[in-house]
Structure formats: structure tokens, C-alpha cells
A and B are shown apart, each in its own frame.
Chain A
Amino acid sequence: MHPLLLANHLVMLAGGSIDGNKRPLDNSERWGVTLAGLGIVIAALALLVVIIFLFGKIFDAINAKQKAKEAKIAEQKKPKNTPAPVKKAPPAPAPVVTKQEDDEEVIAVISAVVAMMSEQDGKIYKVTSVKAVSKNNGFSGRSAWAMDGRRQNVSPF
């Protein structure tokens, strides 16, 4: 089909010129509707991409400005290095649970599960190592609990 003929049909189509009962459509009308239709859909939605993208940038800038302002106010409200008035000593803090103890608890739980499995199938298992999962190996830095929570949220879909 000649490009000029196609362009002519594209212009005609803008005016709603195809009779609904017309059959069959000629070649330029087929191409015209297909190309003009898809082109206009893409153009309309591309315009929306630009508008929404710009809105996003404007709102990000406004939010960043507001955050900076709030941080500045918070900074100003911070007490200066003047000696604080003597307060009554707080009660003794509860013993801090260290990460080491956390890890030991996790290992104990894993060992208990393994022991239960060995009771069930009659075999004896031994935990030889428990390794931390690297954040770079596809776990997106999420803990096992966070991953499981997310999986539960998505599973209804």
C-alpha cells in the first residue's frame, strides 16, 4: 500500500468515516484502523506516563523538602550540651539479650525439630552447621519471618 494512501486513510479515520455495515473493508482501511488505533492508544498512555512521572517527581521533591524541614526543626529542638539536671537513678535495666544468645536459641529450636524428626522416622540426625543466609543471594535482605509473612499475604492470589 502506498504510504500516502495510508496517511490519507489515517486522517479520514479521525472523522469516523468507516460505515459499520461496510463489508469487506479494503486493505488501506484495515491497515488504517490497526495502525491508527494502536498508535493512538500508545500515544494517550505515553502522555499519561509523562504526566504521572512528573507528578511523582514534584511530590517526591515536596516530600523531601518537608522532611528536611522537619529534620531541621528536630535538630533545633535537640538539647544543647548543657549539663542536664541530676535525675533520680533509673531502676536497674533488664539483662540485655545478646545476639549470641539469639543465635543459640535458634540453633536449639532447629536441633529440637531435628530430634523430633529422628524420633518419627527412626534415623539419627546431627546438626553440623547453621549458616547465615547472605543478603545477596536472592533473599532481598528479608528475614525468614518477613519472607514467610509476604508469602502468606500473596498466597490468596
Chain B
Amino acid sequence: MLQILQDILAGLWETSGLYALTSSPQQLIMIIISFGLMYLAIVKEFEPLLLLPIAFGMFLSNLPAVLSEDMIFHAEYWNEQQSVDWLWKVLHDGGLLDKLYLGVKLQIYPCLIFLGIGTMTDFGPLIANPKSFLLGAAAQGGIFFTFFAAACLGMSAAECGSIAIIGGADGPTSIYVSSKLLDGADSSLNTGTIALAAYTYMALVPVIQPPLMRLLTTKKEREIKMPQLRTPSKTEKIIFPVAVTLVVALLVPSAGALVGMLMFGNILKESGVCARLVDTAQNALMNIVTIFLGISVGATTTYSNVWNLEFVKVLGLGIIAFGLGTCCGLLLAKVMNWLSGGKVNPLIGSAGVSAVPMAARISQKEGARVDPTNFLLMHAMGPNVAGVIGSAVAAGILLSVISY
């Protein structure tokens, strides 16, 4: 009897998480990192709506388990080529977070988030000043110049595209592109690490952009006051989403899903006749998708995915992409200022990277720092929302050019 008891206890010990922890202490490091991220989200309030689900997802997926059926997330499933058998395996044998991560892998969450963003976005400043589109386009220079830099480091086309898209400063677009390009690719990168880097840099916009803005503009330029924008009519605001979807889908069909959902959300809002749908898309749907996206992306940050040289490269190239995007926007705004005879404040150029509305907020703050009576917010919102469209177009181009 004593022997039986001993065997039972030994069996329990060998299948316990504590036993697993002693055999792979790396997971303990990831758990401690997740605690650090939870601290930043709760105490420092750094993007808590996203960082807390990511941190808790990281915590859950790094909890040690010996038996495969006890694991809440299986990192090994996501490096396989997608197929019907693979999908059945995930649904049948996968943990809860595996099933939630399907929304990322099948590009469902990014498109639904774009729908929610569309219902919350006012394209009025962009319609009032369509030249802002050019600033949104220039800021995508960060994506393509980083593609070049990553290619020079010997990375594969799929890896270059996945890292470069971080420069669009748009989390859903980064997830959309990387989940397509890295599917079954021979790469140690994965969508989770790309998303983690993209959201980290988006949270760091107030740290990354201001020094570049001050470096590339003079005090005199930052003081420029821009005239008040005209107010577009309701008809213009309704035609806008249809026109943009038509043009983008005809030129770059791969961007159709992202831009189409963004503009679908916007026409729901601007039509003024779908208040209930708008309310759901803005609040309930957006919150649900954010929870699923955050926790499942956090779950992909297992030790093996994060502690490698590739992730360091992603972080390094990601910040280069972000900085280059900011610089490209600022430089084009300077050119526009010169061409217009001093009527464009170059600070609005940096808002061309997406990161809505943080990037526009930084332009406003930097302008107000020099002159508190200068209000650039609405002028910066134009390039800012143009950046969302621009990054979706850039994503479509990368998906068209690179076969996956």
C-alpha cells in the first residue's frame, strides 16, 4: 500500500508544473518578465488595455505543463503550414489560447479592429485638406527603407516584409501582413514577436518622435500657424469611404480587406442611420477583439520565440522603421512648407505614421511647446488618418510582391 501511495505521489509530482519548472527554468524568466509588463500596465498605465492582456497571455503560456493536453498554448503548432488537418489538430488538441489565436492566424482580428477604427475615425480633416494624403504616403518610406535594410542583413523576403511593416505604426496591419507572410515560411520569426515589437513602439511614440521632430525642424517652422480647415459636408463624408475603397481595391487588391473594413466602419458612422451597429463596433466588438488579440498574441511570446537573435533584429529594425517613417513625413512636410511659402507647419508630417491619435497628439504638443496658442491637432489628424490608409496600401503591396 505504501508503494502504491509512493507511486501516486511520484506520478503527481512528475506531471506537476513544479517538476516541469525544474526541468526548464527558462519559463520562469518569461513569467518574471510578464510580471514586469503587468506592473507597467497597472501601475505606470502604459497602454494598459493592450499591455495587460498581452502580459497575462505571456504569463499563461509560460506556465509549465508536462502533458500536452494540459498546455493552454502550443507554440509548435504555429510553425506548421496551414491545412485542413492542421486546423483540425488545433481545434481538437489545442488549448484555449490556441483556438483564440486562430483569429490572428486567419487574419480575422486585424480586419475587425479596422472596422472598429473606421467607426471611430473622422476623415473630415483629411477631406478638408486632401494634400495630407501625401504626408501619409511619405511616412510609409519607413516601411520600404527598412525592407531594404533587412534585405541587406540577409533576411528572407517574408522576414523583411514582416519586420518592415512595423514602420507603418499600425498593430493590426503588422499582424495581418506577418501572419500571411510567415505562414509556413522557413523562419524563426512569428506573428507574436512582430506584434509585440509593433505595439511596444506604438506605446513609445511619445518617446521616439519628439527628438526627431526637434532635430529636423527649426523653431521658426514649429511656430507656423495654419489656417482653420473648412468643414466638409455630410455628402462628402459619405462619398469618401466609397471612393477610397474603390481606388485602393482597384490599384492594390491585396489591401482590399483592410481598407474595405476600415471604410465600411466609416460609412456606418457617417451615414447616421446605423447607430446601433456603430455603437457595437466602437465598443463591444472592439473590446472583445482587443481582449482576444491581446491575450493570444501575448501567448506566443514563449521563451524560444523571444530569446533569440532574430527577435533582437526585429526590435532593432523596428525602431529604425519607426524613426525613418517619422523622418520621411517631416521632410515632405518641410518641402510642402517651402512650396507653399511657409503655410505648412512641418510638425504635422510626423503624424503620417499611423498610431492614431497618438502621433497627431505629439504634433499638437510639440507645436504648443513653442507657442501655446498654436493648435495643430486637427491639421495633424489629416496625415494621421491618411497614414492608416497608406500603411494598409503598403501592406497590400508587400503581400502582392512577396509570394507566400
Contacts and interface: CB of A to CB of B under 8 A. Distances in A.
Contacts of A151: 372
B218 interface: no
B216 interface: no
B56 interface: no
A25 interface: yes
A30 B34 CA distance: 37
Contacts of A33: 144, 147-148, 151, 157, 160, 398, 401
B148 A24 contact: no
A18 B252 contact: no
Contact of A17 (B141, B375, B403): B403
Nearest to B139: A41
Counting chain A CB atoms within 10 Å of each CB, the highest count among B133, B235, B400, B404 belongs to B133
Nearest to B378: A154
A22 B187 CA distance: 11
Contacts of A21: 156-158, 185-187
A30 B127 CA distance: 35
Nearest to B357: A157
Interface in A44-64: 44-49, 51-53, 55-56, 59, 63
Interface string B219-246: 0000001000010110110011001100
A140 B225 contact: yes
A156 to B, nearest CB: 9
B402 A20 contact: yes
B22 to A, nearest CB: 38
A45 B390 contact: yes
A30 B152 contact: yes
A18 B236 contact: no
B340 interface: no
B268 to A, nearest CB: 20
Given A16-B400, A18-B402, A19-B157, A41 B390 contact: yes
User: Contact residue range for chain B?
Assistant: 35 or more
Contacts of A49: 130-131, 133-134
Contacts of A35: 144
Given A20-B156, A21-B186, A45-B386, A55 B239 contact: yes
A55 B131 CA distance: 13
Interface string B360-404: 110010001001110101000000001001100110011011111
Nearest to A150: B375
A34 interface: yes
Counting chain B CB atoms within 10 Å of each CB, the highest count among A38, A44, A55, A157 belongs to A44
A34 B147 contact: yes
Given A20-B404, A22-B157, A38-B141, A55 B243 contact: yes
B154 interface: yes
A45 B389 contact: yes
B138 interface: yes
B127 A24 contact: no
A149 to B, nearest CB: 11
Contact of A47 (B141, B160, B247): B247
A68 interface: no
Interface string A32-43: 011111101111
A139 interface: yes
Contacts of A48: 130, 133, 243-244, 247, 389
B137 interface: yes
B56 to A, nearest CB: 28
A25 B133 contact: no
B113 interface: no
B136 interface: yes
Given A17-B403, A18-B402, A53 B140 contact: no
A41 B394 contact: yes
A78 interface: no
B251 interface: yes
A35 B144 CA distance: 8
B136 A45 contact: yes
Given A20-B157, A52-B243, 15 more contacts: A16-B400, A25-B151, A33-B398, A38-B140, A41-B394, A41-B397, A43-B251, A45-B137, A45-B390, A47-B247, A52-B130, A55-B240, A56-B232, A154-B368, A154-B377
Interface of B: 126-128, 130-131, 133-134, 136-138, 140-141, 143-145, 147-148, 151-152, 154-161, 181, 185-187, 225, 230, 232-233, 235-236, 239-240, 243-244, 247-248, 251-252, 357, 360-361, 364, 368, 371-373, 375, 377, 386, 389-390, 393-394, 397-398, 400-404
9 contacts: A18-B402, A21-B187, A41-B393, A44-B247, A44-B393, A45-B137, A46-B134, A52-B133, A140-B225
Nearest first, the 9 closest Cβ-Cβ pairs linking A and B are A20-B158, A23-B156, A52-B130, A45-B137, A24-B154, A45-B133, A30-B151, A25-B151, A37-B144
